[in-house]
Structure 1
Amino acid sequence: MRIGVLGTGGMAAALGGAWARAGHEVFVGGRDTEAAEVLAGRIGAAGHGTTAWAAGRGEAVLLAVPAPVAPVLAREHAGALAGRTIVDCTNPLAPGPGGVMLTTAAGASVAGLIGAAAPGARVVKAFNLVHASMWEHPAAAFGVTAPAVPFCADDPRAVEHVTELITATGRSPMPAGALDRAAYLEATAAFVIGVWWAGGAPSLAFPEAPGTT
């Protein structure tokens, strides 16, 4: 698959690198084109350029930029993104008095805002629940059962694309409903990060009954 990666930070490097290693054609686009060139060389991407350039290169396009920037970028490149799958891996979070908090309005999601900004694109929420460093480990490092990647999507073609992208990392796709449920994934990220910051292990909150694995 041809994949445009918009962004040059940790998630762009982690996911773009995983997809390049899996044999996909990755095109890195950045607001800082020098940073895009450096990242493309580091992960073995097929090319690099501006965000506008990368937005028009992929069947799927990863938005790996700060959450407030993602809808703005989607609006700027709405024409290039039309008909493509946009993968939103962002989390709209900020520190609050009781821990990390969502910055979106109640019931809203960054994925929904992206969809409104680029109405001709197919938007998917995915890859937002684990830190970028986790993608540096092969799936086998986590045990016999591959870790799951929850995602929310409406469009069948977008589901096909994100399923292929998740599988390429060695993880297991976990459908979590339509795109209107993306706010739940973003809220889950707030919960998970809050538990991590408090020194806990979020996975312990979701035990399975003996004999079910």
Structure 2
Amino acid sequence: MADALGTRWAASGHELMVTGRTPANARALAGKLGARAGDFAEVAEHAEVALIAVLYQGMDSTLSMIGDGLRGKPIVDCNNPVEVRDFTLVTAPGRSMAQQIATATGGHVVKAFNLCHARVWEMQPPVFDRRRLVVPYCGDDDAACALVARLIGDLGCEPLAAGDLRHAHHLEAMAAIMIRLLFGGHDPLSAFNLVTAEPVPPTS
């Protein structure tokens, strides 16, 4: 996800910086994106907005390494706390990973980009049946949500406000269904596409 989204944002003219729990991997991705690599503190200081993209099994250690470096900053959460045996959420009932990230970092978290496979974000742009992909997002901070809406638009997609951060739990539950379909062999470009609807002419 960091690769797919970062590649598109870099092409849109955004300046990027990359970090990770494995410095060699972060440097390799930074080189691919034409970006700089750094440790968590350096990237947190640099960031106007941060994307956190890790497997849920590594989220606790990642948040520990981030500490409070992103306090008060916009954070994009594209992650899904879904185990792939029974395809259920690993978070507490009614509690989202987005809320966990917000509590741990003190940042303004916006849930987005969690419903499609990385291959969808590699499309330039993601268009299905001549319609732009609609990307739902939710968050509590208006400025952070506006920033994420702009980043969605930079991919050639249509941003769709889906409520405050309490609704992130529902987006993560939707992703559990999507992931189950993908593991079942469905095409990641067609398994679950949210698209803008063209106006339907009234019937007489």
Tell whether the structures are fold-level matches, with TM greater than 0.5.
Answer: yes
Give the RMSD, CA atoms, in angstroms. Answer: 2.4
Aligned pairs, number? 198
Q: Are 1:165 and 2:154 counterparts?
A: no
Deviation, 1:118, is 1.5
Separation (CA, whole Å) in 1 of partners of 2:34 and 2:17: 10
Cα distance change on mapping 1:210 and 1:80 into 2, 3 Å: closer
Separation (CA, whole Å) in 1 of partners of 2:47 and 2:62: 16
Q: Which residue of 2 aligns with 1:156?
A: 142
Stretch moving more, 141-150 or 58-67? 141-150
SS state at 2:137 partner: strand
Identity of aligned residues (%): 39
Aligned positions of 1:46-57 closer than 5 A: 47-57=36-46
**Greater per-residue strand proportion:** 1
Cα distance change on mapping 1:204 and 1:167 into 2, 3 Å: closer
Cα distance change on mapping 1:71 and 1:170 into 2, 3 Å: farther
Cα distance change on mapping 1:195 and 1:83 into 2, 3 Å: same
User: Are the aligned partners of 1:125 and 1:153 in contact in 2 as well (CA < 8 Å)?
Assistant: yes
Q: Which residue of 2 aligns with 1:126?
A: 112
Q: Are 1:44 and 2:34 counterparts?
A: yes
Q: Which residue of 2 aligns with 1:32?
A: 22
The Cα offsets for residues 102-133 of structure 1, whole Å up to 9 and x where unpaired, read as 111111110011111122x1011111001111
Cα distance change on mapping 1:71 and 1:168 into 2, 3 Å: farther
SS state at 2:132 partner: coil
SS state at 2:56 partner: coil
SS state at 2:13 partner: coil
Q: Which residue of 2 aligns with 1:105?
A: 92
Separation (CA, whole Å) in 1 of partners of 2:140 and 2:58: 23
TM-score (norm 1): 0.84
| Unpaired runs of at least 5, structure 2 | none
TM-score (norm 2): 0.87
Cα distance change on mapping 1:164 and 1:203 into 2, 3 Å: same
Q: Which residue of 2 aligns with 1:4?
A: none
Q: Are 1:190 and 2:179 counterparts?
A: no
The Cα offsets for residues 8-30 of structure 1, whole Å up to 9 and x where unpaired, read as xxx11011111101000110112
Separation (CA, whole Å) in 2 of partners of 1:180 and 1:122: 13
